[in-house]
């Protein structure tokens, strides 16, 4: 069956994250119809994660194509570009303070970015509460999407923007994410400036990172006086149960962490002891490098579904760049198949190169910081 023209195609995007929504926005901006399917019951169903830094060369480029760059700048926190590297004693090893007017990688809360993209879409674009179960495998014709509620729809193009454990990926690739051996625990802090001024001063207005070779802390300021800390350790995947603990046993987990970080400065240990609410276990997974697949004119992937990597601040940026390039390929191609082929010709080599560079990234997060090195870091919220 001949691949249809994009203007006549039934295009379904799975996943209403930044990548999927960016792709939908650019398609609609060029008059191409699209539907986004998401498993969440509504837009406010869950916390969207921490702060993101959007880079000039990819995330911001995508927002420019979406016609949303100025709205992003109005929401962004340019002061969030500040970065500190600390040693376990709390001494500052390196400090990047953004210059006035610096726009290389301003920060925005993930929820704010998602809301910006959602507001830009035509009403009804996102269909909430639709958990994808499977994508039919025939390559030559339309694909059938089957959802957990028993409904099914046909699509001429299925775009998998559904993250690390993508259901769409199985239609083109047998690859599955593998645990890197490094786990994060996420801790939340509220009312930083008035209730925790010493901790606020230690971290600054952006982020702070400390590591000793086996464990690390990454603190990241969010909007509204909030902060998230990612407690990073080399641990087995089942470390909570292996230590006789449960995920909700905050005091037990805290006691274990304090034993492991016993040699660290009491100032830094407040990132472990002063959090509001429970810890959230976030093991770090990555896809094999390189991750490629044979071309299909009716299914493709973007973002973490295509190239899940350790969280070093590039995940969302690459997802949004993928989204922009795929949408523009559809706008400028005679058929959907031509567009997908052109998009993958650029995206796959780029993602493979980046993934090779970041393959040891989980270990890098635990390495003793090099005072002369300036690297963008991001916690799970950046992915």
User: Which pLDDT tens digit goes with each residue over 19-63?
Assistant: 999 999 999 999 999 999 999 999 888 777 788 999 999 999 999
Same-domain status, 110 and 27: yes
What domain count does the chain have? Answer: 2
Annotation: binding site for FAD: 53, 110, 304
Q: What is the DSSP string of 304-363?
A: HHHH---SSS-HHHHHHHHHHHHHHHHHH-SSHHHHHHHHHHHHHHHHHHHHHHHTTHHH
State the pTM of this model: 0.94
Q: Do 182 and 363 form a contact (C-beta atoms < 8 A)?
A: yes
Same-domain status, 169 and 192: no
> Rounded to the nearest 5°, which phi and psi values hold at 373?
-105, 130
Same-domain status, 280 and 291: no
Q: Three-class SS of residue 13?
A: strand
Q: Which pair of structure tokens corresponds to residue 151? A: 């409904």
CATH code of the domain in which 48 resides = 3.50.50.60
Q: Can you give the pLDDT at residue 382?
A: 46
Q: Do 173 and 316 form a contact (C-beta atoms < 8 A)?
A: no
Which band of pLDDT confidence, cut at 50, 70 and 90, is reported for residue 1? low
Same-domain status, 206 and 279: yes
Same-domain status, 143 and 50: yes
The residue whose two tokens read 């925005």 is: 108
CATH code of the domain in which 218 resides = 3.30.9.30
Q: Largest Cα–Cα distance in the chain?
A: 66
Give the integer Cα–Cα distance in Å for 87 and 216: 10
Same-domain status, 298 and 323: yes
Which band of pLDDT confidence, cut at 50, 70 and 90, is reported for residue 137? confident
Annotation: binding site for NADPH: 46
Same-domain status, 330 and 303: yes
Same-domain status, 55 and 196: no
Question: What's the Cα-to-Cα distance from 220 to each of 35, 184, 250, 299, 367, rounded to whole Å?
Answer: 34, 14, 21, 36, 18
Q: Is residue 101 part of a domain?
A: no
Q: Do 71 and 193 form a contact (C-beta atoms < 8 A)?
A: no
Q: Can you give the pLDDT at residue 375?
A: 46
Q: Is residue 91 part of a domain?
A: no
Instruction: Using a pLDDT cut of 90, give the percent of the chain over it.
Output: 86
Q: What domain range includes position 197?
A: 180-285+364-382
Q: Can you give the pLDDT at residue 383?
A: 39
Annotation: binding site: 46, 53, 110, 304
Q: Is residue 314 part of a domain?
A: yes
Q: Can you give the pLDDT at residue 373?
A: 52
Q: Is residue 86 part of a domain?
A: no
Q: Can you give the pLDDT at residue 44?
A: 86
Q: Can you give the pLDDT at residue 157?
A: 97
Quick: pLDDT tens for 183-194: 999 999 999 989
Q: Is residue 90 part of a domain?
A: no
Contacting residues for 216 by C-beta, under 8 A, at least 6 apart = 209, 210, 231, 232, 233, 365, 366
Q: Can you give the pLDDT at residue 364?
A: 81
Quick: pLDDT tens for 157-177: 999 999 999 999 999 999 999
Q: Can you give the pLDDT at residue 374?
A: 47
Q: Is residue 62 part of a domain?
A: yes
Which of 245, 323, 313, 10 lies closest to 143 in space, CA to CA? Answer: 10
Same-domain status, 236 and 318: no
Same-domain status, 111 and 124: yes
Same-domain status, 13 and 146: yes
Q: 150: exposed, middle or buried (C-beta count within 10 Å: 0-12, 13-18, 19+)?
A: exposed
Which band of pLDDT confidence, cut at 50, 70 and 90, is reported for residue 118? very high
Q: Which pair of structure tokens corresponds to residue 90? A: 């709390």
Q: Can you give the pLDDT at residue 369?
A: 64
Q: Do 306 and 322 form a contact (C-beta atoms < 8 A)?
A: yes
Quick: pLDDT tens for 341-369: 999 999 999 999 999 998 887 788 898 86
Average predicted confidence (pLDDT) for the chain: 93
Q: Which pair of structure tokens corresponds to residue 380? A: 């799970």
Same-domain status, 160 and 171: yes
């Amino acid at each position: 069956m001949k691949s249809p023209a994009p203007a006549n195609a039934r295009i379904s995007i799975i996943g209403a994250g930044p990548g999927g929504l960016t792709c939908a926005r650019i398609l609609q901006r060029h008059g191409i119809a699209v539907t986004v399917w998401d498993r969440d019951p509504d837009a406010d169903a869950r916390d969207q994660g921490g702060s993101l830094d959007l880079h000039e060369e990819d995330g911001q480029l995508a927002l420019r194509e979406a016609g949303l760059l100025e709205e992003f700048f109005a929401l962004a926190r340019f002061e969030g570009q500040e970065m500190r590297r600390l040693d376990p004693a709390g001494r500052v090893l390196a400090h990047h303070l953004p210059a006035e007017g610096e726009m290389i990688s301003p920060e925005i809360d993930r929820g704010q970015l998602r809301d910006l993209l959602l507001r830009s879409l035509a009403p009804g674009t996102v269909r909430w509460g639709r958990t994808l179960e499977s994508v039919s495998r025939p390559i030559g014709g339309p694909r059938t999407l089957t959802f957990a509620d028993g409904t099914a729809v046909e699509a001429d193009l299925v775009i998998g923007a559904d993250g690390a454990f993508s259901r769409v990926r199985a239609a083109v690739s047998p690859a599955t994410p593998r645990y890197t051996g490094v786990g994060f625990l996420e801790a939340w802090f509220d009312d930083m400036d008035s209730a925790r001024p010493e901790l606020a001063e230690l971290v600054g207005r952006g982020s702070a990172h400390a590591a000793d070779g086996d464990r690390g802390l990454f603190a990241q300021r969010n909007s509204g006086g909030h902060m998230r800390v990612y407690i990073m350790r080399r641990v087995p995947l089942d470390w909570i149960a292996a230590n006789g603990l449960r995920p909700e046993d905050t005091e037990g987990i805290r006691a274990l962490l304090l034993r492991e970080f016993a040699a660290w400065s009491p100032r830094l240990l407040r990132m472990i002891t002063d959090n509001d609410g429970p810890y959230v276990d976030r093991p770090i997974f990555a896809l094999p490098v390189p991750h490629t697949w044979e071309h299909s004119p009716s299914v493709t992937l973007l973002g973490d579904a295509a190239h899940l990597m350790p969280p070093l601040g590039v995940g969302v940026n690459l997802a949004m760049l993928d989204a922009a390039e795929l949408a523009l390929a559809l706008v400028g191609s005679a058929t959907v198949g031509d567009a997908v082929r052109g998009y993958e010709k650029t995206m796959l080599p780029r993602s493979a190169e980046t993934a090779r560079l970041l393959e040891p990234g989980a270990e890098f997060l635990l390495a003793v910081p090099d005072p002369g090195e300036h690297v963008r870091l991001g916690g799970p919220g950046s992915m």
